[in-house]
């Protein structure tokens, strides 16, 4: 008899695990009722569970009926409905009774020390890494050329929408309030048999907001600069945001037919911003155009196609279908509508998709002109109907096997979002946190955004900061300008993992509020030497970190409770503090019995707690060596502290 294959399932499926699930669960019946066990697929030998999980979701992971789990809980005196959330230890007990191992999520890297712990990754950044992983998993021979995706950025009233209007031969600008773009749209045109997708954004804020959510969909940025106006503050910001995104910039020098147009002066200003024109020996393509009179449009499109041919943008139209939400709205007649950009695979009418914490079945699909479509390939923007709720711009969508699977995945995501909202606050994106991300890495770059009160101060501040870099660590100034710190600065820092340095400047209320929500650190200075001292000290610590173990508390073992999968030590905290996940060692009569362990579980009565202070009793479960514990032993709590 052939032994059936076994598998491990995870509660908190990360995007790469969702891919595996999408490929492996096709054999399951879509009509399988909740709680019914499908005997045709492999039995589950182990599952992966984080801190908490509902009875319903644990039953799904184990392929068991929720009733089976509830019966076991009742045997232990726990009356838990199907929506009740249980902790990891309780899930372990359930698994033992049902013959299924319950494990913690595996970590590829050794678990960092408390002070070295990597900052919590944003769900938004995870979304884009998911698309990257999908693309990386495709076989090179399956990839085919796809149209480039182009975003149009620039200063207000420099002609962004008029340029797109000329390209699409439709009057878009005339229908907008005040002639200013009010929404984000996506359009596709055909030039000499080749297609180009354009994103018409309200400005670099929307462009960066999508990046901040992890959705970098743009291949090329067309920077519109008026020949009679030159490089303006918003132009500089757009350049900074495009450079931070790492995309190719093509400059459309607009309004060249104006009597006061001065292209040479504008190109000088562009060169000062790091965009050296090709005709001056640089690498930036500058195309003179007149969007209003449709002059130079063909040259601009031809240059976009040349860049696309050199960069070779590719995707697999037959692969797993994923993409990004460009915009969404609630239409009073059609319900929820969403503009999607397909990045890989082919999206078809009738597909079940999950978008962030919502899902739906595509009832209808249209192109940007309103024509109905049956399917859409890579780099094609489409408007769909059928989602349950309006998703956010920048959310990643993926096609699932069935409505059931899409609904389940969306529910799991919403549960994680709700749990995160009630959990601890997001760690700050401070100098120390940013530096911790690069420790042990091959490349080390510190991203900074600098604001100063006057130009005479800004230049020496920039030079001083840039001089702090060396061969191992580079200091990259994403944006430097005079004036108060704005919300746009915070958005750029949020999307680029940067720290904002303000020199003798204030901060807008909106920027302050956004920085507090997003965890971006803003450092204020009035003395240049203090600023240099802080950054230099942090860079030095980044190169040569020195740590030491500091004793922060002791707990005496009063009683031992032996379980099937370990030992819980009932302790009294004699001094200091005991922290969950802290380092620990066990002492007996002053001698070391267990030299190195970690506190995996810390409880007060039946509640999991983060720390317990002097004079209180608690339950401690160690990661190793718990079988050596005896009553009267002392657990010494250690904290890894960075000296330099």
pLDDT digits (tens, 9 = 90+) for 494-507: 877 788 898 888 88
Closest CA to 509 of 523, 232, 207, 517: 517
Residue 402 lies in a domain: yes
- Length in residues, the chain: 644
pLDDT digits (tens, 9 = 90+) for 551-584: 899 999 999 988 877 889 999 999 999 998 899 9
Burial class of residue 272, CB neighbours in 10 A (0-12, 13-18, 19+): exposed
Closest CA to 587 of 640, 639, 629: 629
- CATH number, domain of 211, equals 3.40.50.300
Q: Are residues 84 and 33 in the same domain?
A: yes
Q: Which of 56-60, 403-407, 409-413, 427-431 has the lowest mean pLDDT?
A: 427-431
- Which CA distances in Å does 100 have to 7, 80, 247? 11, 20, 48
Instruction: Tell me the C-alpha distance between 165 and 159, whole Å.
Output: 10
Last residue of a domain, one of 285, 315, 345: 315
Q: Are residues 387 and 535 in the same domain?
A: no
Pairing of strands 7-10, 44-48: parallel
Residue 213 lies in a domain: yes
Q: Are residues 22 and 41 in the same domain?
A: yes
The mean pLDDT value for 291-307 works out to 90
DSSP annotation string for 251-269: EEEE-TTSTT--HHHHHHH
Q: Is the pLDDT of residue 24 over 50?
A: no
Residue 333 lies in a domain: yes
The mean pLDDT value for 248-260 works out to 90
Helix, strand, coil content of the chain in percent (nearest 5): 30, 35, 35
Q: Are residues 304 and 381 in the same domain?
A: no
Pairing of strands 347-348, 352-355: unpaired
Mean pLDDT (the chain) is: 78
Closest CA to 222 of 252, 201, 263: 252
Q: Is the pLDDT of residue 529 over 70?
A: yes
- In the chain, pLDDT over 90 holds for what percent of residues? 19
- Which CA distances in Å does 567 have to 309, 472, 626? 63, 46, 6
Domain interval for residue 81: 7-103
Residue 131 lies in a domain: no
Q: Confidence class of residue 393 from pLDDT cuts 50, 70 and 90?
A: confident
Q: Confidence class of residue 384 from pLDDT cuts 50, 70 and 90?
A: very high
Number of H helices, E strands in the chain: 16, 33
Please enumerate, as own/partner, the contacts of 72-78 that have beta carbons within 8 Å and a separation of 24 or more. Answer: 72/97, 72/98
- For the chain, the straight-line distance linking the first and the last C-alpha, in angstroms and rounded, comes to 62
Give me the residue label for tokens 């399988």: 32
Q: How many CB atoms lie within 10 A of CB 15?
A: 19
Instruction: Tell me the C-alpha distance between 43 and 100, whole Å.
Output: 10
Last residue of a domain, one of 526, 543, 560: 543
Last residue of a domain, one of 543, 564, 597: 543
Give me the residue label for tokens 């879509």: 30
Closest CA to 183 of 163, 203, 162, 210: 203
Contacts of 481 (CB under 8 A, 6+ apart): 233, 236, 237, 450, 451, 458
Q: Confidence class of residue 137 from pLDDT cuts 50, 70 and 90?
A: confident
| Structure tokens belonging to residue 380 | 């094609």
Q: Are residues 532 and 568 in the same domain?
A: no
Residues forming beta bridges with residue 335, ordered by sequence position? 331
**pLDDT at position 244:** 79
pTM over 0.75: no
Give me the residue label for tokens 């678990």: 111
Q: Are residues 156 and 61 in the same domain?
A: no
**pLDDT at position 541:** 55
pLDDT digits (tens, 9 = 90+) for 600-628: 889 988 888 889 999 999 999 998 888 88
Q: Confidence class of residue 78 from pLDDT cuts 50, 70 and 90?
A: confident
**pLDDT at position 249:** 92
- CATH number, domain of 411, equals 2.40.30.10
Instruction: Tell me the C-alpha distance between 297 and 292, whole Å.
Output: 10
pLDDT digits (tens, 9 = 90+) for 191-247: 888 899 988 755 555 566 665 554 578 889 999 999 888 888 888 888 887 887 788
**pLDDT at position 180:** 42
Q: Are residues 527 and 553 in the same domain?
A: no
| Structure tokens belonging to residue 611 | 């720390």
Q: Is the pLDDT of residue 284 over 60?
A: yes
Q: How many domains does the chain have?
A: 5
Q: Are residues 152 and 298 in the same domain?
A: yes
Q: Pick the residue with more confidence: 366 or 184? A: 366
């Amino acid at each position: 008899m052939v032994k059936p294959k076994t598998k491990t399932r995870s509660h908190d499926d990360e995007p790469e695990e969702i891919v595996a699930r999408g490929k492996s669960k096709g054999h399951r019946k879509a009509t399988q009722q909740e709680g019914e066990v499908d005997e045709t697929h492999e039995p589950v030998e182990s599952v992966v569970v984080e801190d908490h999980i509902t009875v319903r979701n644990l039953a799904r992971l184990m392929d068991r009926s929720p009733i089976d789990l509830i019966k076991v809980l009742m045997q232990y005196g726990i009356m838990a409905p199907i929506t009740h959330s249980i902790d990891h230890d309780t899930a372990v007990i359930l698994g033992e009774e049902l013959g299924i191992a319950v494990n913690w999520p595996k970590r590829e890297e050794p678990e960092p020390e408390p002070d070295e712990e990597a900052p919590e990754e944003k769900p938004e950044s995870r979304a884009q890494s998911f698309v990257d992983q999908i693309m990386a998993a495709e076989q090179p021979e399956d990839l085919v050329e796809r149209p480039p995706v182009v975003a149009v950025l620039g200063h207000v009233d420099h002609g962004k929408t008029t340029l797109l209007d000329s390209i699409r031969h439709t009057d878009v600008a005339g229908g907008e309030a005040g002639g200013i773009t009010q929404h984000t749209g996506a359009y596709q045109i055909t030039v000499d048999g080749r297609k180009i997708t354009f994103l018409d954004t309200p400005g670099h804020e929307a462009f960066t907001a999508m990046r901040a959510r992890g959705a970098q969909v743009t291949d090329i940025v067309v920077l519109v600069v008026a020949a009679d106006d030159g490089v303006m503050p918003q132009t500089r910001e757009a350049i900074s945001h495009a450079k931070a995104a790492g995309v190719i910039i093509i400059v459309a020098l607009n309004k060249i037919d104006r009597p006061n147009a001065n292209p040479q002066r504008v190109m000088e200003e562009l060169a000062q911003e790091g965009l050296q024109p090709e005709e001056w020996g640089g690498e930036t393509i500058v195309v003179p155009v007149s969007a209003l009179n449709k002059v130079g449009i063909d040259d601009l499109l031809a240059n976009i196609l040349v860049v696309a041919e050199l960069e070779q943008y590719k995707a697999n139209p037959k692969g797993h279908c994923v993409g990004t939400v460009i915009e969404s709205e609630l239409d009073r007649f059609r319900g929820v509508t969403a503009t999607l950009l397909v990045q890989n695979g082919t999206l078809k009418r009738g597909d079940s998709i999950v978008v962030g914490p919502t899902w739906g079945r595509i009832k209808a699909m249209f192109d940007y002109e309103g024509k109905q479509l049956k399917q859409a390939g890579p780099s094609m923007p489409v408007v769909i109907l059928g989602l349950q709720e309006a998703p956010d711009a920048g959310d990643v969508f993926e096609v699932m096997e069935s409505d059931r699977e899409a609904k389940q995945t969306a529910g799991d995501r919403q549960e994680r979002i709700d749990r995160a909202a009630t959990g601890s606050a997001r760690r700050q994106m401070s100098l120390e946190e940013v530096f911790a991300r690069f420790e042990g890495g091959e490349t080390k770059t510190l991203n900074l955004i600098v604001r100063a009160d006057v130009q005479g101060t800004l230049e020496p501040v920039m030079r001083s900061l840039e001089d702090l870099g060396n061969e191992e660590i580079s200091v990259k100034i994403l944006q430097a300008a005079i004036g108060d710190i704005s919300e746009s600065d915070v958005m750029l820092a949020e999307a680029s993992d940067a720290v904002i340095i303000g020199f003798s400047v204030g901060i807008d209320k909106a920027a302050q509020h956004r920085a507090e929500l997003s965890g971006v650190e803003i450092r204020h200075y009035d003395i240049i030497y203090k600023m240099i001292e802080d950054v230099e000290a942090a860079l030095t610590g980044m190169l040569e970190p020195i740590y030491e173990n500091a004793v922060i508390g002791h707990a005496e073992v009063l009683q031992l409770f032996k379980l099937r999968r370990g030992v819980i030590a009932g302790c009294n905290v004699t001094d200091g503090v005991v922290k969950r996940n802290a380092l620990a060692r066990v002492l007996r009569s002053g001698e070391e019995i267990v030299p190195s362990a970690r506190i995996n579980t810390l409880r007060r009565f039946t509640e999991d707690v983060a720390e317990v202070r002097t004079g209180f009793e608690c339950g401690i479960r160690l990661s190793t060596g718990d079988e050596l514990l005896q009553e009267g032993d002392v657990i010494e709590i250690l904290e890894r502290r960075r000296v330099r």
